[in-house]
Amino acid sequence: MGKQRWEVQSLDVWGNQKDGYDINDWFHAGWLEFDDYPSENDIFSALKSEGLIGENVKRAWVNVDPASSSGYYEVQDNRKSKGTYGKPLYQIYQREEGEGSVSGGKRRHGRPGVGGSAAELRRLMRK
């Protein structure tokens, strides 16, 4: 089996920790490649190496959730002290060879993260 290709989508998120978050829209932020099915730590390390998460961000600050199905991860802010606990940062989907990026859409996110452009996410996660 060859390399596995994963699309990273940055999220435009509305809401707050108390009331929950809405994913207003999502945007293609990049691609990650892995030799095998990635673990949560593999995803975190790859996001850091691609500059999608700040260099000084600690692993404990970020929740990488394999969600309910294989081929999908959600990355969330895990810092309770910042008031953004549970806020979605990225969605990461496994893509087949030749399958393109998917962007745009809205969905309700029931739990309490950081949304917007990839640059905005990097800036916020450095705080």
Give the burial class of 110: count Cβ atoms within 10 A of its Cβ; 0-12 exposed, 13-18 middle, 19 or more buried. exposed
**127 pLDDT exceeds 50?**
no
**101 pLDDT exceeds 90?**
no
Distances from the Cα of 94 to the Cαs of 15, 18, 86, in angstroms? Answer: 27, 31, 22
Calpha distance 105→73 (Å, rounded): 17
The percent of residues above 70 in pLDDT, for the chain, comes to 72
Residues in the chain: 127
In tens, the pLDDT along 25-84 reads 999 999 999 998 898 999 999 999 999 988 888 888 888 888 656 788 999 998 887 888
**What residues make up the domain containing 102?**
4-125
| Residue 66 near residue 72 (C-beta atoms within 8 A) | yes
Calpha distance 86→64 (Å, rounded): 11
DSSP helix/strand/coil, 88: strand
Domain count, the chain: 1
